[in-house]
Amino acid sequence: MKFLRYGDAGAEKPGALAADGTIRDLSGRIADIDAATIADGSLAALSGIDLTALPVVPDGVRIGPPLARTGNFIAIGLNYADHAEETGAAIPAEPILFNKAPSCVVGPNDDVILPPGSEKSDWEVELAFVIGKRASYIERSDALSHIAGYMICNDVSERAYQLERGGQWMKGKCCPTFGPLGPWLVTPDEIADPQDLSLWLEVNGERVQNGSTRTMIFPVDEIVAYLSRFMVLEPGDVVTTGTPPGVGLGMNPPRFLKRGDTMRLGIDGLGVQAQSVR
C-alpha cells in the first residue's frame, strides 16, 4: 500500500493512495500514521482493505510528511561510490552516520527555506525507510523484516555549515525544512528490490542527479543490521541512505540553491516531490 498524510501542517489526517490515483481517507480506521500505529500492527492490518469503499479526499489538498512525529532521523553519508568520488572523499570502510533533526521534516511539496546567510545549500535525492519493529543486534538476513516502508527524502544540506565550521555534519543537515519526506510511505511488498531503484533530481527543470540504488556501497539490509549494533532502532525511526552523484558541491564550479529555485525529485515506485526555494 501507499500510505500518506494530508491536510494543513500540524493537522494532517491519514490516507492511502488508491489504484485509480485518488486519495482515500483512513481517519475512520486509524488515528494517524505514526510509531504507535506501526508498532501495534494497525497499519499492517489495513493491507487487505477495500480502498474504494472509503471517502475520496478532494483534489489539490496538501500532502504532508507520511509519518507523524518522526523518532530518530538517521542518515548515511557518502554511501554511493560515484558520489564520494565527485566530492573528493575516500570510499568509507564502514557506514558514516549522522543525525538529521526530526524538526526539519516537512511535506514533499512544502517550500525549502534557506537559513539566514546561507550561500551553500545543496540538494540530495535519497531512498529513506521507516523502521517497523524494534531492532537490536539483528542479523543482516533478518534486517528487511524490520522495515515498515520506503519513501523519498531530499537531504537538503548547507555545505558551509556541514564542512567548514568544525564539529559534526549535522550542523548543515538540520535547518528547518531541510528534510522533505514523502509523498507516500510505500509498504515493502510493493518494492521488489530496494537495491534496484532509479532515483533522480532536477533543479529548475535540469536533470542534475540520475542514479540507481544498485551503486550503494552499503545496501539497505546491511545498514539496518549495522545500525542495530550501535543503537536500538524503534518503530517510527527514519533512516535515509545516501545520495548518488550530481549534487551542487560536486560541480565545477560548485552550484548551490538560491531563492526562486525549484527542485523536483523522484524514485521508482515512491512518487515525486517538488519544492520551491525561498
pLDDT per residue as tens digits for the range 237-264: 999 999 999 999 999 999 999 999 999 9
Q: How confident is the model at residue 128 (pLDDT cuts 50, 70, 90)?
A: very high
> Would residue 247 count as lying in a domain?
yes
- Residue where a domain stops, chosen among 63, 84, 105: 63
Q: Is the pLDDT of residue 48 over 90?
A: no
Q: Is the pLDDT of residue 18 over 90?
A: yes
d(CA 25, CA 157): 34
- Residue where a domain stops, chosen among 22, 43, 63: 63
Same domain, 111 and 54: no
140 contacts 222 by C-beta, under 8 angstroms:
yes
Return the half-sphere exposure (C-beta side, CA atoms, 13 A cut-off) of residue 49.
Answer: 24
Q: Please state the rounded mean pLDDT for residues 143-168.
A: 96
Q: Residues of the chain with pLDDT > 70: what percent?
A: 100
Q: How confident is the model at residue 82 (pLDDT cuts 50, 70, 90)?
A: confident
Q: Is the pLDDT of residue 118 over 90?
A: yes
Q: Mind listing the pLDDT tens digit for each residue in 52-65?
A: 999 999 999 999 99
- Residue where a domain stops, chosen among 63, 81, 115: 63
Cα-Cα-Cα-Cα torsion 114, 243, 131, 3, nearest 10 degrees, comes to 70
Sequence letter at residue 156: V
Same domain, 47 and 101: no
Same domain, 87 and 223: yes
Q: Please say whether the dihedral angle defined by the alpha carbons of residues 51, 148, 126 and 198, taken in this order, is positive or negative.
A: negative
> Would residue 68 count as lying in a domain?
no
Q: Please state the rounded mean pLDDT for residues 86-109.
A: 94
Phi, psi of 126 (to 5 degrees): -145, 150
Q: Please state the rounded mean pLDDT for residues 125-131.
A: 98
Number of separate domains in the chain: 2
Q: Residues of the chain with pLDDT > 90: what percent?
A: 95
182 contacts 275 by C-beta, under 8 angstroms:
no
> Would residue 268 count as lying in a domain?
yes
Q: Mind listing the pLDDT tens digit for each residue in 62-71?
A: 999 999 999 9
> Would residue 241 count as lying in a domain?
yes
Which 3 state secondary structure label does DSSP give 170?
helix
Q: How confident is the model at residue 88 (pLDDT cuts 50, 70, 90)?
A: confident
Same domain, 56 and 83: no
If one compares 91 and 16, the residue with the highest pLDDT of the two is 16
Same domain, 22 and 85: no
Q: Please state the rounded mean pLDDT for residues 205-215.
A: 97
Same domain, 133 and 245: yes
57 contacts 24 by C-beta, under 8 angstroms:
yes
Q: Please say whether the dihedral angle defined by the alpha carbons of residues 1, 70, 238 and 76, taken in this order, is positive or negative.
A: positive
Q: Please state the rounded mean pLDDT for residues 135-149.
A: 98
Core vs surface per residue 146-183: b (16+ CB within 10 A) or e:
bbbbbbbbbbbbbbbbbeeeeeebebbbbbebbbbbbb
Same domain, 129 and 250: yes
Which 3 state secondary structure label does DSSP give 263?
strand
> Would residue 143 count as lying in a domain?
yes
> Would residue 160 count as lying in a domain?
yes
> Would residue 105 count as lying in a domain?
yes
Same domain, 49 and 166: no
Same domain, 42 and 101: no
Q: Say if strands 271-276 and 198-203 run parallel, antiparallel, or are unpaired.
A: unpaired
Q: Residue 37: enclosing H or E segment and its boundaries?
A: helix 35-39
> Would residue 263 count as lying in a domain?
yes
pLDDT of residue 86: 83
Q: Give the Cβ contact number of residue 87 at 10 Å.
A: 13
Closest to 158 measured CA to CA, from 100, 237, 88: 100
d(CA 197, CA 195): 6
Same domain, 158 and 184: yes
Instruction: Find the domain containing 245 and state its range.
Output: 73-276
Q: Mind listing the pLDDT tens digit for each residue in 170-203?
A: 999 999 999 999 999 999 999 999 999 999 999 9
Grid coordinates given for 125? 535525492
pLDDT of residue 85: 81
Q: What is the CATH number of the domain that holds 192?
A: 3.90.850.10
Q: Please say whether the dihedral angle defined by the alpha carbons of residues 43, 49, 55 and 57, taken in this order, is positive or negative.
A: positive
Q: Give the Cβ contact number of residue 10 at 10 Å.
A: 7
Same domain, 112 and 225: yes
Same domain, 112 and 151: yes
